[in-house]
Structure 1
Amino acid sequence: MSETYEVTVTREGKWWMIEVPALGDDGLTQARRLGEAELMARELIAVSAGKPLADINVSVHVKLDAEGPDLTERAEKIKQDRERAAKYESTSVASARALAHEMAAASVPVRDIGQLLDVSFQRASQLIKS
């Protein structure tokens, strides 16, 4: 049965300090890179609690210092914003392509299509050909 542990990661000099409060005084390890923090925390918990690594989940909260705000939520919002922006970009390109095709079918010059779509005539030509 897997259990999720709360983990706080803070920066201390050149190291990321990884604290697992559920383990008490023994719940501290470190990592050189932030990307190593989750695995290091899971390994510490596995050894301390005598559980298989596969049964351990962690919820990592990153802070610059112990008193600072949780940066994980802000980073997650940025990730969601990027995903939303990529979706909008994809929709926008599809719409521009459809309009460019419509206009080209009506014999509108490529330069005029580019002008209306606020893209170069080369990009307008790419949209028409795609």
Structure 2
Amino acid sequence: MGAWEATVEREGRVWRVSVPALGISDQVARLGEADVCARELVAGAEGVPAERVEVRVRPLADPGVLAGLAEADAIAAEAAALVERSARMRAGIVRSYVEEQHLTYREAARLLGISMSRVQQLVTGR
């Protein structure tokens, strides 16, 4: 016997467990009870012991929450790209300044108000 597919989603203060292929559903108080409930639903409908039933339960989250999280992830990716762009830009500016003005790292550090080791990192890319 193959695995059955079931879904579970919040419905008020309870969880609705559904087995769409059989058109049956039930409620449980806790999400952790959904697997057993789904297995028992299929077993009862098919007339087999619950131990012989394999069910994959897929929780269905609120679409609005999922959309919000996807938007937050997209913003985080944009922010990471901007941080990377900023770092490349900063390094290029410091490297050009040091080279064009023929500055030592010590001189550049003093002029820019950053450490000499930071100037070296920006100039050499290390």
How far off is 1:26 after superposition?
A: 1.7
Give the deviation of 1:11 after TM superposition: 8.0
CA distance in structure 2 between the aligned counterparts of 1:71 and 1:104, rounded to whole angstroms: 49
Residue 78 of structure 1 deviates from its aligned partner by 0.8
Count of residues in Structure 1 that have an aligned counterpart in Structure 2: 103
Shift of 1:75: 1.7
Q: Deviations over 1:44-82 (max 9, x none)?
A: 575244325xxx3625323xxxxxx73221122112211
Matched, 1:127 2:122: yes
1:60 aligns with 2:77: no
Matched ranges for 1:27-66 at <5 A: 27-31=27-31, 41=34, 43-44=35-36, 47=39, 48-49=41-42, 50-52=53-55, 56=56, 58=58, 60-62=60-62
| Correspondence for 1:82 among 64, 69, 76 | 76
Corresponding residue SS for 2:67:
helix
CA gap of 1:45–1:100, structure 2 versus 1, over 3 A, is farther
Task: Give secondary structure in 2 for the equivalent of 1:8.
Answer: strand
Secondary structure at 1:26's aligned position in 2? Answer: strand
Report the CA distance between 1:97 and its aligned residue: 1.6
The answer to whether the 8 A contact 2:17-2:38 is kept is: no
Structure 1: gaps (5+ residues): 32-36, 63-68, 115-119
TM-score (norm 2): 0.52
Q: Structure 2: which 5+ runs fail to align?
A: 43-52
C-alpha root-mean-square deviation of aligned residues, in Å? 3.8
Same amino acid, percent of matched pairs: 12
Q: Runs ≥4 in structure 1, deviation > 6 angstroms?
A: 1-4
